[in-house]
């Protein structure tokens, strides 16, 4: 697979976008943009957890429904979900109906709710590596796991978070702009 792809707008971008308009928009407007805020990072963590074992485009297409049924990923609200909410979510074909991931999202919301405002953001960003300025030359140069994502995963697990493995957390670091894995030559500078 080539690492860059020229889109219909004549811009070179990371080839994982393919020819999907929604993927192109996500790449151009969101992926790799520094993301801050407890709620925003909780949403990113939850969606990356739901993505485990699936393609990101599946999650991206279901994201509006996820946001609807998880109350905009407001930790204070989601943390109050109970077994009846789990059953309601298990019956919703608009999301990924995986009980363990649903229960993890609720449990993770409870942990975030128990933190001081801004503490979750600070915790997550504390694992961001110093910017090297060098972008990967190709997909082969993009890691799946780094020492930083492994340390983040370990600390989150220590605190009781679930579905936060090192690969999942590296995906969060990429999408949340903690690292810049846009391929060299991608228009997103």
Q: Does the annotation count 22 as an active-site position?
A: no
Q: Does the annotation count 74 as an active-site position?
A: no
Residue among 16, 26, 125, 187 flagged as catalytic: 26
Burial class (CB in 10 A: 0-12, 13-18, 19+), 125: middle
CA-nearest of 133, 134, 67 to 105 is 67
Residue among 56, 74, 80, 155 flagged as catalytic: 56
Please state the φ and ψ torsions of residue 38, each to the nearest 5 degrees.
-60, -45
CA-nearest of 3, 40, 8, 184 to 125 is 40
C-alpha to C-alpha distances, 39 to 49, 76, 117, 174, nearest whole angstrom: 15, 9, 10, 18
Residue among 23, 31, 43, 48 flagged as catalytic: 48
Q: Does the annotation count 31 as an active-site position?
A: no
Active site residues: 26, 48, 56
């Amino acid at each position: 697979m080539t690492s860059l792809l020229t889109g219909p707008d004549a811009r070179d971008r990371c080839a994982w976008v393919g020819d999907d308009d929604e993927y192109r928009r996500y790449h151009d407007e969101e992926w790799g943009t520094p993301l801050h805020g407890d709620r925003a990072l909780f949403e990113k963590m939850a969606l990356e957890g739901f993505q485990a074992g699936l393609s990101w485009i599946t999650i991206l297409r279901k994201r509006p429904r996820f946001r609807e049924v998880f109350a905009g990923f407001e930790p204070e609200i989601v943390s109050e979900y109970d077994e009846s909410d789990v059953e309601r979510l298990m019956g919703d074909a608009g999301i990924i109906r995986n009980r363990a991931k649903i229960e993890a999202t609720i449990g993770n919301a409870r942990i975030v709710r128990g933190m001081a405002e801004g503490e979750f953001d600070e915790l997550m960003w504390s694992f961001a590596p110093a910017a090297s300025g060098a972008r990967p030359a190709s997909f082969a140069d993009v890691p799946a796991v780094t020492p930083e994502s492994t340390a983040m995963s370990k600390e989150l697990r220590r605190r009781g978070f679930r579905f936060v493995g090192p690969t999942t957390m590296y995906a969060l670091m990429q999408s949340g702009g903690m690292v810049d894995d846009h391929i060299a030559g991608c228009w997103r500078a």
